[in-house]
A = this chain, B = another copy of it.
Amino acid sequence: MIIEPRILKGFRDSLPKQERIKRDLIHSLEMQFRTFGFEPIDTPALEYTDVLLGKGSGETDKQIYRFLDNGKRDVSMRFDLTVPFARFMAAHINELYEPFKRYHIAKVWRGENTQKGRFREFYQCDFDIVGVDSMSADFEILLMMYQSLTAIGLDSFTIKVSHRGLFNTFLAHNGIQEQSAEILRTVDKLSKIGETAVREQLCTLTDVAAADRILSFISCGKDFKTAFASLTSLSGGPSEASERLEQIFGMIDELGLNDYFELDASITRGLDYYTGIVYETILTDLPSIGSICSGGRYNELASLYTKRSIPGVGASIGLDRLLAALEELESSTDQGSMVDLIIFALDEHDFSRYHHTAQQLRARGLHVEVFPTKKKLQQQFKYAQKKEIPFGLFIGEDEAASETFTMKNLIEREAFEHISIDDAYTIITSHREHTIDKS
């Protein structure tokens, strides 16, 4: 009996091309992170449920993949990389050092409602500096965001920055701190539901005058100096928070990065645990896709697991969203076919010559395939076409004797006859440079 090869709703196979693009993107990001001294870590996919859920929140409880293992332990699959990182820091703080800078790129699982187009298995890509609360660390995360996004080919984006503490100071100054968590969550929806709806919701949380003051706070404009002056004045004058924000924007200015950053007091991030700066990243040509990289400063990472205070600042790249954006913007890291050349199988007795030639070209850095069985040339061409391989090599009897080959550009259908291995290498690499120049 045949079993239908079905997969679970909300889960996906990753086919060669998309998996290659994803792995290359992850590698590029990773190499950027490393130039800043961030190191990789990993944690188990499965942990004790009480460790992952901590005090628990209703939302996470419902979505988590939780079960009893064969030893009757209550276990769960990780639903993010933040909680495992907190547990990791508490467990290893004495083997590590502070400040500690890590990145973690791995899959997480959530039983989300797939009707919203959400997936139940997806990648997270987090990077954080923990063990220090400093302006330089805040700035470094922002700088690394700019650097990483630029490195993968994006150039039109805005990192919108605000400060949770400044907002709280403002609320306190205006005597409306009571519903602050709810107010923050409401303000966070501004870009999704618009000003009118936010105002309506705010009015259910506080009085109309306060709602209007909140709206004027979060709509302070985009010119840093003007906006910053208003925000400071609306929150009762300079504070620790305003000072930190001013320093950070000073650094942005001094490094000539003004075009990529913006003060935006409507950015609050929904989560309770942020205490300092918060940020989101919007693609200029694709704002509708939402933030592709967000985060902020939190001052108690691991308080569930240790009495030691571990402050931190970090961000998370939404890899699936970023991949979707790169595809839509046609600025993917994909550089066409993965293979440079295919050696066609013409004669069953010549396979060692085919493999030997392939090895010689691989030793020069090319990606080379040998078609593994003598089939009709038409079928071999079809295979090359499917894999978008640009060049094909024919090693015939005459050519074996003279150690020369016939090579064909399979796309432009140009033939090169009686060429040597070195010639083949030169033609292929110059073609590759030409192709990359065009893109």
A91 close to B7 (CB less than 8 A): yes
> 6 additional contacts, CB 8 Å, given A6-B91, A136-B354?
A7-B48, A7-B87, A23-B40, A46-B77, A46-B109, A99-B383
A121 close to B46 (CB less than 8 A): yes
Chain A, residues 85-114, CB within 8 Å of chain B (1/0): the string is 001101110011101011000010101000
By a CB distance below 8 angstroms, the chain B residues around A129 are: 372
Partner of A20, one of B12, B39, B304: B39
Is A16 among interface residues, defined by CB-CB distance under 8 A? yes
Question: A137-145, A172-180, A273-281, A421-429: which one contacts chain B?
Answer: A137-145
Partner of A51, one of B6, B250, B382: B6
Given contacts A2-B304, A37-B368, contact A111 B8 (CB under 8 A): no
B251 close to A140 (CB less than 8 A): no
Given contacts A69-B111, A75-B8, A339-B37, contact A88 B254 (CB under 8 A): no
User: Closest CB of chain B to A92's CB: distance in Å?
Assistant: 7
What are the 3 A-B residue pairs with the smallest beta carbon separation, nearest first? A67-B67, A16-B39, A37-B369
15 A/B residue pairs, CB under 8 Å, sorted by A: A3-B50, A5-B88, A5-B302, A5-B306, A7-B87, A16-B41, A19-B41, A23-B40, A37-B368, A65-B67, A99-B373, A132-B372, A136-B351, A136-B354, A255-B359
Given contacts A97-B383, A372-B136, contact A4 B305 (CB under 8 A): yes
Given contacts A44-B11, A132-B372, contact A255 B2 (CB under 8 A): no
By a CB distance below 8 angstroms, the chain B residues around A62 are: 70
Is A401 among interface residues, defined by CB-CB distance under 8 A? no
B42 close to A14 (CB less than 8 A): yes
Chain A, residues 369-385, CB within 8 Å of chain B (1/0): the string is 11111000000001100
Copies in the complex: 2
User: Closest CB of chain B to A118's CB: distance in Å?
Assistant: 14
Partner of A46, one of B11, B88, B90: B11
Chain A residues bordering chain B, tally (CB within 8 A)? 107
Is A355 among interface residues, defined by CB-CB distance under 8 A? yes
By a CB distance below 8 angstroms, the chain B residues around A97 are: 382-383, 386-387
Chain A, residues 127-162, CB within 8 Å of chain B (1/0): the string is 001001011110110010001000000000000000
A44 close to B13 (CB less than 8 A): yes
Partner of A6, one of B40, B48, B354, B355: B48
User: Closest CB of chain B to A261's CB: distance in Å?
Assistant: 14
Question: A28-36, A196-204, A317-325, A327-335: which one contacts chain B?
Answer: A28-36
B88 close to A13 (CB less than 8 A): yes
B87 close to A355 (CB less than 8 A): no
Chain A, residues 273-299, CB within 8 Å of chain B (1/0): the string is 000000000000000000000000000
Q: Which of A35, A69, A87 has the most CB of B within 10 A?
A: A35
B372 close to A109 (CB less than 8 A): no
By a CB distance below 8 angstroms, the chain B residues around A255 are: 352, 355-356, 359
Is A43 among interface residues, defined by CB-CB distance under 8 A? yes
Interface hits, A227-282 → B, CB 8 Å: 250-251, 254-255
Is A220 among interface residues, defined by CB-CB distance under 8 A? no
Partner of A355, one of B39, B48, B136, B356: B136
Is A81 among interface residues, defined by CB-CB distance under 8 A? no
